[in-house]
């Protein structure tokens, strides 16, 4: 089955540690995205990538980093510089071109204490 996988579903870290969230897609999509969702809130764009080896900052990129070395993979690192990292993180992909629908993964809930 084609789709997007995110792992793990739940992640716990101590404050001051960097943590990397995985996102893999087998849809052959060019574009991939990372969003953050806080309780009762909408989605905020962290980073997006339109093509391999290229990515752009979204609205809340501070304290996060990404890489796009392979078409199917777009890992997100939450660094210790991120002030409030506890949130639900969603990865998405689309064919590209901007007007196509985005397909979402199941999300990773990160808790930092």
Q: How many residues bind another protein (CB under 8 A)?
A: 26
* DSSP collapsed to 3 states, the chain: CCCEEEECCEEEECCCCCEEEEEEECCCCCEEEEEEECCCCCEEEEEEEEECCEEEECCCCCCEEECCCECCECCEEECCCCCCCCEEEEEEEECCCCCCCCEECCCEEEEEC
Q: Is 75 in the site for another protein (CB under 8 A)?
A: no
Q: Is 103 in the site for another protein (CB under 8 A)?
A: yes
Query: Which is nearer to another protein, 15 or 101 (by Cβ)?
Result: 101
Site string for another protein, 21-40 (x = CB under 8 A): ----------x-x-------
Give the pairing of strands 54-57 and 103-104.
Answer: unpaired
Q: Which of 64, 105, 110, 112 binds another protein (CB under 8 A)?
A: 105
Q: Which of 20, 28, 41, 111 binds another protein (CB under 8 A)?
A: 41
Binding residues for another protein, per CB under 8 A?
4, 6, 31, 33, 41-43, 45, 48, 50, 58, 90, 92, 96-107, 109
């Amino acid at each position: 089955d084609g789709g997007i996988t995110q792992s793990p579903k739940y992640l716990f870290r101590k404050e001051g540690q960097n943590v990397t969230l995985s996102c893999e897609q087998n849809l052959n999509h060019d574009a991939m995205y990372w969003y953050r969702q806080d309780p009762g809130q909408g989605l905020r764009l962290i980073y997006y990538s339109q093509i391999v080896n290229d990515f752009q900052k979204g609205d809340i990129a501070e304290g996060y980093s990404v890489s796009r070395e392979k078409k199917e993979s777009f890992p997100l690192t939450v660094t210790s510089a991120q002030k409030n990292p506890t949130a639900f993180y969603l990865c998405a992909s689309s064919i590209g071109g901007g007007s196509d629908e985005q397909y979402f993964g199941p999300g990773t809930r990160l808790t930092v204490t």
